[in-house]
Amino acid sequence: MSIRIGILGATGYTALELIKILLRHPEATIVALTSRQEGSPHVASVHPQLTGRLDLCLENLEPTAVAAKTDMVFSCLPHGASASSIMPILEGNTRVVDFSADYRLRDVPTYEQWYGQVHPDPQRVGKTVYGLPELFASEIGSAQLVANPGCYPTSAILAMTPLLREGIVDPSEIIFDSKSGVSGAGRSPKLTTHYPECNESLAAYNVGRHRHTPEIRQILGLAAGREVDVLFTPHLIPMDRGILTTAYAKPLKSVSESEVIHVLRSFYADRPFVRVVDHLPATKDCTHTNFCDITARVVGGRIMTISCIDNLIKGASGVAVQNMNLMFGVPETMGLL
């Protein structure tokens, strides 16, 4: 099998990381890259890391033109634009992983409240599978469209889902204190991500109003079987990549630390990319890989989890390829170890 691949919006960091993963993937062939940049620049002029590794130009192609020559499209477009581009592709047989938030939320009003715009494709909202393979592998396998998860939600959901499913932690209050490297903010220069501003500094941002909040809440709600109250605080950390999420929850029953870790370990026993560890993980243990490392602590009557991922890989492009592998029936780990 060779999967012919197109990438919409190939100028950003997630697209670059996706290309690098796909270049190592034995069944993938990248055949089209798009961008709205003038002059169809060579991919290596946009991403010098790819010099000599991929001989394609970024073209301003219509989504259907990309679909016509591919089996699989990854959309790295911004929300709104992404759904609009994906809709015509779904008329055909090409399969799609959407990196944007357009199809992640379960209902249209929540989308429109948090993203401040009308949804271009309200019909598919709530019917699209959430592309977290550790939770939804079977639906992903048969889906034409998969909503790739947000980076922060991946670190939060993987840590707390097993504990909510087992009824160990109280869904009525879970605090996620998350810390992310700067690549998560994208490739467009802004003052907040200007080197001398964010280097040697640290700040919280979007407190109480980050758009990943409803995403975490909805997916954890599925695990808990009821509404989950999530307080999510993101912080910007002076490093390229990596997310560490420290979560604080109340136990619903008396459990020891080793019992909590055991629940996590059992839940992920067959999942190749979640590593439940006893030590306190560092983001560096996971960066440049598709792994998520998780541990738990019981402190002062509370249950804490600490989880680490690479925001660009397990939090974006790695999980996207993991989803593709499931969609095309090749081994889930192909190209990712």
Are the C-beta atoms of residues 134 and 271 closer than 8 Å to each other?
Answer: yes
Residues 19-58 that bind a copy of itself (CB under 8 A): 23-24, 48-49, 51-53
Handedness of CA 176, 178, 184, 185 (dihedral sign): positive
- Least CB distance to a copy of itself at residue 70 (A): 22
Regarding 287 and contact with a copy of itself (CB under 8 A), the answer is yes
Catalytic-residue membership of 151: yes
- Cα angle 97-94-59, degrees, rounded to a multiple of 5: 80
Q: How far apart are CA 323 and CA 130, in angstroms?
A: 10
Identity of the residue, 96 or 296, whose beta carbon is nearer to a copy of itself in the bound complex: 296
**118 contributes a contact to a copy of itself by CB under 8 A:** no
| Minimum distance of a copy of itself from residue 1's CB (angstroms) | 18
236 or 319, CB closer to a copy of itself? 236
- Using CB under 8 A, which of the segments 84-92, 118-126, 144-152, 278-286 binds a copy of itself? 278-286
Site for a copy of itself in 85-104 (CB under 8 A): none
Q: Is 65 in the site for a copy of itself (CB under 8 A)?
A: no
- Rounded to whole angstroms, the Cα distance separating 66 from 64 reads 5
Dmax (CA) for the chain in angstroms is 63
Could you say which of 57, 76, 151, 198 is catalytic?
A: 151
What is the side-by-side strand order in the sheet with 28-34?
58-59, 28-34, 3-8, 72-75, 95-98, 145-147, 129-130
Q: How far is the CB of 232 from a copy of itself (least distance, A)?
A: 9
Decide: is 297 part of the binding site for a copy of itself (CB under 8 A): yes
> Toward a copy of itself, which CB reaches closer, 63 or 318?
318
* 241 neighbors 308 (Cβ within 8 angstroms): no
User: Rounded to whole angstroms, how far apart are CA atoms 247 and 303?
Assistant: 8
Structure tokens at 30: 């990248």
Q: In the range 187-246, which residues lie near a copy of itself by CB under 8 A? A: 187-191, 193-205, 207-208, 229-231, 233, 235, 237-242, 244, 246
Q: Which residues are catalytic?
A: 151
